[in-house]
């Protein structure tokens, strides 16, 4: 997707890039270059979409960002505003794709889950060395649990920032994170309660 040289925007803040893009669209391409890799990973983690699907979602999201750039909500950082739009685009895509299967029950491969986890060890969700396990278990969680965990632990967003991106109260963010972590731990301990799945 990135086709412009990044030197054009060297030394410019996101805000300066946006203001410059009003007169020259090449500056908007710099914004794409800055964020596309992170956003692709974010899309894939919260939606479990393929690389091709994630690229399509991201392209549509950037089109929406460009169309709305002059209406940028300055109460948010530009990064969080971009994440909000990409998040909404991803959820919209996911809902359209899965609307035909609302009652679908995810098959759980117990042997695979047990194989992923250290034997005879209680898993600590917040250990730095646990991210491989996190990436394997994330797809099994409800989307609303998955998205808060990704924003908190992969994107290092604060509760306030997650609240801004998802448009939910900070108290709800805290509740979802706590429930998501409990669900994750239940999975890691082999408690396969169907209420924690999609």
- List pLDDT tens digits, range 44-57: 988 878 899 999 99
Q: What is the DSSP letter of 104?
A: P
Please state the φ and ψ torsions of residue 190, each to the nearest 5 degrees. Answer: 80, 20
- Two structure tokens written together for 59: 């392209």
Q: Counting Cβ atoms within 10 Å, is residue 3 exposed (0-12), middle (13-18) or buried (19+)?
A: exposed
Please state the φ and ψ torsions of residue 100, each to the nearest 5 degrees. Answer: -75, -10
Global pTM value:
0.69
Percent of the chain having pLDDT more than 70?
73
| The pLDDT value given to residue 115 | 38
69 pLDDT more than 80: yes
Query: In whole angstroms, how large is the CA radius of gyration of the chain?
Result: 19
Residue 1 — very low, low, confident or very high, per pLDDT cuts 50/70/90? Answer: very low
| The pLDDT value given to residue 107 | 40
Q: Which of 184, 197, 45, 189 is nearest to 106 (CA)?
A: 197
Contacts of 44 (CB under 8 A, 6+ apart): 51, 54
Mean pLDDT computed over 57-64: 93
Q: Answer yes or no: are the C-beta atoms of 70 and 22 closer than 8 Å.
A: yes
| The pLDDT value given to residue 187 | 78
| The pLDDT value given to residue 62 | 93
Residue 6 — very low, low, confident or very high, per pLDDT cuts 50/70/90? Answer: low
Helices 51-67, 78-98: crossing angle, 10 deg rounding: 130
157 or 100, higher pLDDT: 157
120 pLDDT more than 70: no
Residue 21 — very low, low, confident or very high, per pLDDT cuts 50/70/90? Answer: confident
Per-residue CA distances from 49 to 8, 29, 113 (Å): 32, 24, 21
160 pLDDT more than 90: yes
> Cα–Cα distance between 23 and 139 in angstroms, integer?
42
Domains along the chain? 1-103 (1.10.1740.10), 105-198 (1.10.10.10)
Mean pLDDT, the chain, integer = 76
| The pLDDT value given to residue 195 | 41
Mean pLDDT computed over 12-29: 86
With H, G, I as helix, E, B as strand and everything else as coil, classify residue 5: coil
């Amino acid at each position: 997707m990135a086709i412009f040289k990044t030197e054009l925007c060297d030394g410019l803040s996101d805000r300066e890039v946006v203001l410059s893009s009003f007169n020259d669209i090449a500056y908007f391409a710099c914004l794409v270059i800055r964020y596309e890799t992170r956003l692709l990973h974010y899309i894939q983690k919260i939606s479990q979409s393929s690389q091709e699907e994630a690229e399509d979602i991201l392209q549509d999201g950037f089109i929406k960002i460009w169309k709305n750039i002059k209406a940028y909500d300055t109460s948010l950082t530009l990064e969080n505003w971009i994440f909000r739009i990409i998040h909404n685009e991803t959820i919209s895509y996911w809902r359209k794709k899965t609307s035909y299967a609302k009652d679908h029950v995810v098959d759980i491969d117990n042997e695979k889950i047990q194989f992923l986890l250290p034997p005879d060890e209680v898993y600590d969700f917040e250990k730095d060395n646990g991210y491989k396990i996190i990436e394997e278990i994330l797809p099994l969680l409800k989307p609303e649990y998955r998205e808060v965990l990704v924003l908190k632990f992969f994107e290092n967003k604060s509760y306030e920032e997650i609240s801004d991106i998802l448009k939910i109260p900070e108290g709800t963010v805290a509740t979802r994170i706590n429930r998501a972590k409990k669900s994750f731990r239940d999975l890691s301990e082999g408690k396969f309660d169907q209420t924690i799945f999609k």
